[in-house]
Amino acid sequence: MVHLDALEIIAEKARRFWWGQQIELATISWSLLLAVEGRRRNIPSVWAYLALAHLVSLSFAQNLFYLALLLTPAPTAAGHPERPTSTLGRLRYKVLPPKPANWLPHPALLLASFCTTYVLIYWAPSTAGTATFANIAVAGRILSFAPVVIPSVVPASWGTVYSDPHGAYGIFVELFRFVSTASFVFHAKETALGLLHNTPDAHFHRHSRFLPFDKGQRSTWERTTTAIGKILGSSSDHPVVAAVAWDVLLSGASQGLWAATRALDVTDILASATPFVHKDRSRAQPPPRLPEENDKSTPELESFSHTSTGTTRRRGRPSKVKSEEMTISETPGSRGTRRGRDRKHTAAPEEAPEDAYEPSPAESRAAVEGDELPDNDLDWESAALTWGLTAVGGLGSSSAGVFGAECTSR
């Protein structure tokens, strides 16, 4: 197949695989984002975005999914799904019943698929030019769909239902952190191999009748810059490599712009990208409440004052009374009358404040996570951090940080 031939061309040389491996590593974190946000927002056919990443390009599929996220800013209300009416739909509903809200499969299932994919990525360059490479490439493509498929096919007993929608945020951070750390290790290994295979010798022959010495010596700086130039310049080796290189650059640029558009917190990005920064989970787990009930459950902020500064208006006071008071002429008699009414009103015993609303466990499970709409201005600090992580740790590490922050910052 043409697709397998293209993959083999990329894996033949270390300087070419330096580009291709970044796409493979970024696809892992990309599939985890599809699994989390696709289920949370009830986006249908999330597997199609992953298939587009393999068939077209990763940057193209990512930007399409970014549009899908913007068009569904808040998840749909959790409830009982309607039973399908078609025969195929009823069969699917019976074989693969939908999972309850706030259900998450056991992290070991996702980690097993990630580790298997990493083994195949490590093994692929050594099998280029053999019949084994096609089997590895096909197996890697199939395993990339595991994070999207696992939540639908495994039984509900293989996962956990969280009473708080934010209860699974700690699991998401650990998963993205594992992906980011593994991607950084793979990127560092491939960078070292690329420099090793493309660094020129320290000594070289120079054939010139004007110089008495036959041998010349290159400095360490010259050798290093030459190797880096060969790695970056490998994008012109073949059209397939050029397409992959442009895909890496476009995907990295899109991630930075997405982080700026969504105003992602730099702490959330670093918590998902590095093992040295930890997210404050107390801030990420607010108690579930209803805004309307909260306003009603809180006691009155202030009682009516008996001083000359005036009285505090009650929240539930009708506007009609206020308009009638404004029409009364400001005469001493009218002021005295109003003061007398105020004293009479404050003398009445106030109603006891209602108890704070506490949702039941069923209502907590049905609570929906909403988006916090960012400001109109772009957060270029998040974009700069994303592009810095891409330059240092590769596309796989930076994408895990950005996607992890996207899943845990709302």
Read out DSSP for 269-307?
HHHHH-SS----HHHH-PPP--HHHHHHHSPPSSPPP-S
pLDDT of residue 37 exceeding 70: yes
pLDDT band at 231 (very low <50, low <70, confident <90, very high): very high
Residue 209 lies in a domain: no
- For the cut 90, the answer to whether the pLDDT of residue 388 exceeds it is yes
Token reading at 4: 């397998």
In a domain, 208, yes or no: no
Whether residue 23 is contained in a domain is answered as yes
pLDDT at residue 313, rounded to an integer: 41
Amino acid symbol at 82: E
Residue 319 within a domain: no
pLDDT, greater one: 243 or 292: 243
Beta bridge mates, 352: none
Sign of the torsion formed by the C-alpha atoms of 302, 307, 313 and 316: positive
Mean pLDDT of the chain: 78
Is 49 a member of any domain?
yes
Q: Which range marks the domain in which residue 190 is found?
A: 2-77+93-199+222-288+363-408
User: Cα(128)–Cα(131) distance, rounded to whole angstroms?
Assistant: 8
Assigned domain for 210 exists: no
* Coil/strand/helix, residue 204: strand
Average pLDDT over residues 188-202: 87
**204 within some domain:** no
Cβ partners under 8 Å of residue 341, min gap 6: none
**Residue 56 within any structural domain of the chain:** yes
Decide if pLDDT at 39 tops 60: yes
Domain count, the chain: 1
Mean pLDDT, rounded, for 37-54? 91
What is the arithmetic mean of pLDDT over 105-129?
A: 94
